[in-house]
Amino acid sequence: MRDVANAAEARLRIALQKSGRLTDASLELLSRCGLKVSRGKDQLMCYGENMPLDVLLVRDDDIPDLVQEDVCDLGLVGLNVVEEKRLAFEAAGQPALFEVVRRLDFGRCRLCIAVPDGFEYRGAASLAGRRIATTYPHVLRRYLEERGVEAQIVVLSGSVEIAPRLGRADLICDLVSTGSTLAANHLRLADVVLESQAVLIRTPVPIPEDKQDWARRLLMRIDGVEEVKGSKYIMLHAPRAALPAIARLLPGSEAPTVIPLEGLGDRVAVHAVCRENVFWETLEQLKGVGASSVLVLPVEKMLA
Ligand code: PRP
Ligand code: ZN
């Protein structure tokens, strides 16, 4: 638990992965929430200059513990790590108390069973009696138990993908995102154990009152950033008669704003927020139904 002196500072603390697949996107998310941090090279703790929020850069595997122990109020981490920790805590007879408060739209990857070339995989039964190398023993154990398969779990701390070649295991259970690590090691995906993405977790301890306002504002800003991801603001001119056709073409947009154009007779300006990316094909189709002066802009912020 935090000591009184720290609590009196009333600064929120959030843990992020120091270097890895989530680092850039996590820092970018906070920056889009308006946070400016002073970050020295190899610095572990970054001071929020314009918000009472400090960023702790640590190994992703340590994030659930830091949040569980209330050293940090919040943590941004992969669901893969969260699930492994949760099951590890439970196996140790100590329930995981940190709570997943948001699933975020980045860091997507899959924890997979992957087998070497030449391994005949015919469903989970093919894993019976095999040695499976992984850094996710608890998630893998649950997967095997759910399928009634008995196999040997070889717990490694890294470089799982070379375990089969080194003769330490018959196959692996590891994270896959692009699949290039598997390909480079002559392994192929056999089954998905867990779909993962970045999540925001929070401390089990009630956030002190003097920090609650900023915790709430940060969550609202995160929601705002997530909401506009991929959204575009589109502006165009068109004949009023083309409005129904245009409405059908605009991807994922709600009622567009229609503005009369001074001195241009029946032509109107149409403004709309599209909740999906707008492709060149869509612009060409819009032109085809009479649109001109089409502009597509990124949406930076949105507050519902
Ligand atoms: C994972 C995994 C592979 C790689 C797969 O490690 O162990 O090495 O990513 O990615 P790919 O399919 O795009 O090739 P990660 O970088 O997440 O490190 P960590 O598990 O040690 O945090
Ligand atoms: Zn890690």
Residue pLDDT, tens place only, 154-186: 999 999 999 999 999 999 999 999 999 999 999
Quick one: what percent of the chain has pLDDT higher than 70? 96
| Position 47 pLDDT exceeds 60 | yes
Q: Is 59 in the pocket of ligand 1 (CB under 6 A)?
A: no
pLDDT band at 269 (very low <50, low <70, confident <90, very high): very high
Question: Where are the extended beta strands (E) located within 119-247?
Answer: 131-134, 152-155, 171-176, 187-196, 198-202, 232-239
Q: Indicate which atom in ligand 1 lies nearest the CA of residue 181.
A: 14
pLDDT the model gives residue 253: 78
pLDDT the model gives residue 141: 98
For the segment 113-138, what is each residue's pLDDT rounded down to a tens digit?
999 999 999 999 999 999 999 999 99
pLDDT the model gives residue 7: 44
Q: Is 21 in the pocket of ligand 1 (CB under 6 A)?
A: yes
Q: Where in the chain is the domain with CATH 3.30.70.120?
A: 232-298
CA neighbor of 286 nearest in space, from 298, 276, 296: 296
pLDDT the model gives residue 57: 95
| Position 103 pLDDT exceeds 60 | yes
CATH architecture of 232-298: 2-Layer Sandwich (3.30)
Q: Which residue did the predictor score with more confidence, 245 or 7?
A: 245
Arithmetic mean of pLDDT, 207-214? 92
Mean predicted lDDT score pLDDT of the chain: 92
Which of these ranges, 6-15, 89-98, 280-289, has the smallest mean pLDDT?
A: 6-15
Q: Is 127 in the pocket of ligand 1 (CB under 6 A)?
A: no
Q: Indicate which atom in ligand 1 lies nearest the CA of residue 17.
A: 22
Q: Is 181 in the pocket of ligand 1 (CB under 6 A)?
A: yes
Ligand 1 pocket test, candidate residues 16, 17, 21, 193, most atoms within 8 A of CB? 21
CA of 108 to the centre of ligand 1 (A): 12
* Closest residue to atom 13 of ligand 1, CA basis: 178
Q: Where in the chain is the domain with CATH 3.40.190.10?
A: 2-106+198-227, 109-195
* Closest residue to atom 1 of ligand 1, CA basis: 175
Arithmetic mean of pLDDT, 225-229? 87
CA of 175 to the centre of ligand 1 (A): 6
pLDDT the model gives residue 9: 63
User: Can you state the angle between helices 209-228 and 23-32, rounded to 10 degrees?
Assistant: 110
CA of 150 to the centre of ligand 2 (A): 26
Distances (CA, A) of 110 to 1, 8, 38, 137, 258: 34, 41, 33, 15, 44
The hierarchical CATH code for the domain 2-106+198-227 is 3.40.190.10
The hierarchical CATH code for the domain 109-195 is 3.40.190.10
Q: pTM score, two decimals?
A: 0.84
Arithmetic mean of pLDDT, 197-214? 94
Arithmetic mean of pLDDT, 275-282? 86
Q: Is 56 in the pocket of ligand 1 (CB under 6 A)?
A: no
CA neighbor of 113 nearest in space, from 86, 133, 128: 133
CA of 200 to the centre of ligand 1 (A): 20
Q: Indicate which atom in ligand 1 lies nearest the CA of residue 183.
A: 14
Q: Is 60 in the pocket of ligand 1 (CB under 6 A)?
A: yes
Distances (CA, A) of 41 to 38, 45, 46, 53, 119: 10, 11, 10, 19, 45
Task: Identify which ligand lies nearest to the alpha carbon of 21.
Answer: 1
pLDDT band at 230 (very low <50, low <70, confident <90, very high): confident
Q: Which residue did the predictor score with more confidence, 35 or 4?
A: 35
